Amino acid sequence: MDLSATVASLIETAHRVGADRRLVLHGGGNISAKTTELDHLGHTRPVLVIKASGADMRTIDAAGFSRLYLDDLLTLRPRSRMTDEDMTSFFMRSLVEPGSGRPSIETLLHAFRPSTFVYHVHADAICALTNTTDGAARVSDVLGADVPVVPYIRPGFDLAKQVSELKGDAAVLSHHGLVTWSDDARACMERTLELTHRAETFLRERKAERAVRGPAVPPLDRDHAERLLLTLRGRLSRNGYRILALEPHGRAISDRPDVERVARAGPATADHLLRTRPWTAVIRSADDVGGVIDGLEREYSDFVSRHSDRMPPGARPREAAPAVVLVPGLGLIAAAPEARLAWSTAEVAMHTHGVAADVLDAFGDIAPLTEREIFDIEYWPLELAKLKPVSATDLAGRVVIVTGAASGIGRDTAMALARLGAHLAMCDRDAVGLDEATEQIREAGHDPIAVTGDITDPDVVDRLVRETILTFGGVDGLVSNAGVAVAGRLVDLAIEDWERSLAVNATSHFLLVRRLLPVLERQRLGGSLVFVASKNAFSPGEGFGAYSVAKAAEVQLARMVAIEAGRTGVRANVVSPDAIFEGSKLWDEGLRRERAKAHGVAVEELERFYADRSLLGRAVRTSDVADAIVFCLSERSSRMTGCVITVDAGVAAAFPR
């Protein structure tokens, strides 16, 4: 096959393998093929095309593969040993395209096997067979004596040499995975699937006979689940904000009578350790969170000091807190600095613990990696290099609720917050607008949640806060922005209109505060609440009483929050805009006509009228207001509470006092 056909075949195989989560997860496994290319001198040379380190099979494209001169790589074969550092710098010099992606540490394993195609997966069922005492004998029983088993060693030169000397067309790597090879791509893939299938069938049948069973665990009640998540997030965020991913399917693991044993079983394949970390916590109650996490942190520090002589030069101890928690009656929880990482950690943990559960069900015992092997993977520079740097934006790892998020100030603020790394829960009555707004944020690469409903309804407020906690593990900020314009002179106002204005512009903010303050207190991470008020709170306009009175109440509410919640580190500030027309639902045709009449100008002159009456003579944009809100939510305003920021281009009559 020529180069382009080879790459096309590898991409197709990678997508097929990557889509099967029982075979590989998130950057795991590797596939390669051998072909030829003309080098820069015009000579035809053999080339190895192999998935680059960390590339994900499910989504890989041509750029995700490295190409190396195979004749270069084969000169290494006679050597008896080679360090990881020498090997990787050699790879960089053998790249067909200098400076392209970092080749996998498993490159030589693929290069040294003469077959055209070499496929390597971390199949759950294969790992389950090896992760028990007599693992090698189990593999032979189930897969046949013609499939050799290589005892666990960390990938590198030695493993490549060992695999190159094996007979047959497949090998099992203990605590690691499966390798198959063939000159025919289809045969290579079929062998992978056939061996994996055989292992799965064996486990299923054997489990049916022996599986561990215990009494059913009742689900954790909603309030307890919420308390537990908040306490856990607060505790795990001590060294940086964490997002929690709750996987309810994890109850298949967390509700087992032997959950402690499963949690202690270590990774199914060494590759999972990067995300799952050495120990998983088991927490049964919100009251146990501190004790369990403290204990595991101490254990981790002891583990690091016991092996400090093996710590690579320059390496620093990693975060001691666990990344995965099993909660009987609730499920599996993974923690990471951002939601997507938390979800990939949860997925890896589901597989790693699922394999441990299968091993215990099928064989009754489990043979994990030794502590020393765990340490060597945990601090392997080549594995750590796969961890992408975590974004250090202003609001990274924060969770913010935005009300009135479907349009205008709310929508623009949500977008600005997402850009700074905040995780968003967006609420609005307008389902269509909310869909558009969330879609816009999704396109920018974030995953907000959306709750449709009227924020004056306590049940909607409760649902909004609860869903936010269940999705992200907690809350750090609020943009209390939903509002409604109610115009009319006092003598003409219907009581329904008056009450509607108070409900939306004042009471809804109170409902959010009342629901959120206990949440923030339990989390112990402080918090920032931002109330979007109006120039009318300070300088009411004639014929705008219902609105102005309610907005003044909102400002006073914010000050009450500052007074009552300051001791818990919770801040409350007001952003007070004026005359924002851009994208606003507040300024509908009726209101425009009404205010134009009140000010004695033509409707089309209204925006200019408001701009001209300001000290700066400029129109105020939604993005100006969003900037002020973002500032109030960020650490840059950490010493501000009970404060009003006007964003009105200067209206002297509305200077706060």
What distance in Å separates the CA atoms of residue 178 and residue 140, rounded to the nearest whole number?
13
| Residue whose tokens read 């620093």 | 316
C-alpha closest to that of 554 among 502, 482, 506: 506
How far apart, in whole angstroms, are the C-alpha atoms of residue 387 and residue 482? 39
* Continuous segment of H or E residues that includes residue 44: strand 44-51
Cα angle 361, 367, 372 (rounded to 5 degrees) comes to 150
Query: Do 432 and 457 meet the contact criterion of CB atoms below 8 Å apart?
Result: no
The pairing of strands 477-480 and 399-403 is: parallel
Nearest to 27 by CA among 210, 271, 314: 271
3-state DSSP call for residue 646? Answer: strand
| Amino acid in position 372 | R
- 547 as an active site residue: the answer is yes
Distance CA 384, CA 386 (A): 5
Question: Do the beta carbons of residue 530 and residue 629 sit within 8 Å?
Answer: yes
* Distance set, CA 234 to CA 33, 180, 320, 519, 522 (Å): 48, 46, 15, 11, 8
Decide: 34 and 116 in contact? Cβ < 8 Å.
yes
For β-strands 170-173 and 177-182, DSSP reports them as antiparallel
Taking alpha carbons only, the member of 444, 549, 461 closest to residue 505 is 549
Contact (CB, 8 A) for 120 and 109? yes
Task: Give me the half-sphere count of Cα atoms (radius 13 Å) on the Cβ side of residue 641.
Answer: 22
**Catalytic annotation, pick one of 241, 300, 547, 610:** 547
Structure tokens at 19: 């889509």
Report whether 280 contacts 324 (CB < 8 A): yes
* Helix/strand/coil for 38: strand
The three-class DSSP label of residue 58 is coil
The closest alpha carbon to 273, from 32, 25, 17, 88, belongs to 25
Nearest to 409 by CA among 429, 435, 437: 437
Cα separation of 574 and 643, whole Å? 6
Backbone torsions φ then ψ of 47, nearest 5 degrees? -135, 140
DSSP state of 503: I
Let me know if 533 is exposed, middle or buried by CB neighbors in 10 A (0-12, 13-18, 19+). Answer: buried
Among 66, 2, 6, smallest CA distance to 30 is for: 66
429: CB partners within 8 A, 6+ apart: 406, 452, 453, 454, 455, 482
Query: Which uninterrupted H or E stretch holds 326?
Result: strand 324-327
Which residues carry out catalysis?
Answer: 547
